[in-house]
Every structure is written in C-alpha cells, then in structure tokens.
C-alpha cells in the first residue's frame, strides 16, 4: 500500500526530520541514521499520525533505537573495538 502526502504534510515531515537530526551528535548524522529516522517518520505518517508532536515522538524513538537497540549496540561495539583494539 502506498501513501500520498499533501504539500503541508511533506513540509511538516521535512521539518520534523530536520529538527530531530539536529539533536543527533554530528558524528552520528550519517546517511543511514538519517534514512532510518526519515523512514520512521514516513511509516508514522502512513499510519495516519500527522501531528508534529506525534511525528517527533516517533522520530525520537527511532533515535533511541539507533543508539540503544541491538543495531546500536553492535555499532557501539564496533566503534569501541576500533579505539581499543
């Protein structure tokens, strides 16, 4: 199923993405992390949640998952391995 978004919703999603990415430490603003956050915003909007608060909440939840979920822990371990051998 494909969702469509009016220009106001697209602008809102871009604004939320920009604000949430700005909260991520610069060294972690990778394309992959930004794509994951954007994907969460799109999925949330596709479920009918179109408020700034709802989209932001879900986008921040994705940031938390990036850094504390299994993939985040794997990345952290990899980064620490590079530093500490």
Domain count, the chain: 1
Count Cα neighbours of 35 within 13 Å in the Cβ-side half-sphere.
3
Residue 50's domain spans which residues?
7-84
Cβ neighbors of 45 (< 8 A, separation 6 or more) are 3, 5, 9, 13, 55
Question: What pLDDT score does 77 carry?
Answer: 67
Residue 25 within any structural domain of the chain: yes
Residue 1 within any structural domain of the chain: no
Is there a contact between 29 and 19 (Cβ–Cβ < 8 Å)? no
Per-residue pLDDT tens for 26-82? 988 999 999 999 999 999 999 999 999 999 999 999 998 888 777 666 766 676 677
User: Global pTM?
Assistant: 0.78
Question: What pLDDT score does 2 carry?
Answer: 66
Higher per-residue confidence, 11 vs 65? 11
Residue 22 within any structural domain of the chain: yes
Residue 14 within any structural domain of the chain: yes
Residue 2 within any structural domain of the chain: no
Residue 15 within any structural domain of the chain: yes
What does the pLDDT average to over 7-27? 95
Residue 40 within any structural domain of the chain: yes
Cβ neighbors of 60 (< 8 A, separation 6 or more) are 20, 23
Question: What pLDDT score does 13 carry?
Answer: 98
């Amino acid at each position: 199923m494909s969702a469509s978004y009016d220009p106001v919703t697209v602008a809102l999603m871009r604004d939320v993405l920009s604000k949430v990415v700005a909260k991520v430490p610069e060294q972690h603003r990778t394309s992959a992390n930004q794509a994951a956050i954007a994907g969460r915003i799109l999925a949330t909007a596709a479920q009918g949640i179109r408020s700034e608060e709802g989209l932001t909440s879900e986008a921040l939840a994705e940031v938390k998952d990036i850094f504390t979920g299994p993939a985040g822990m794997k990345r952290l371990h990899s980064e620490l391995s590079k530093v500490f051998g």
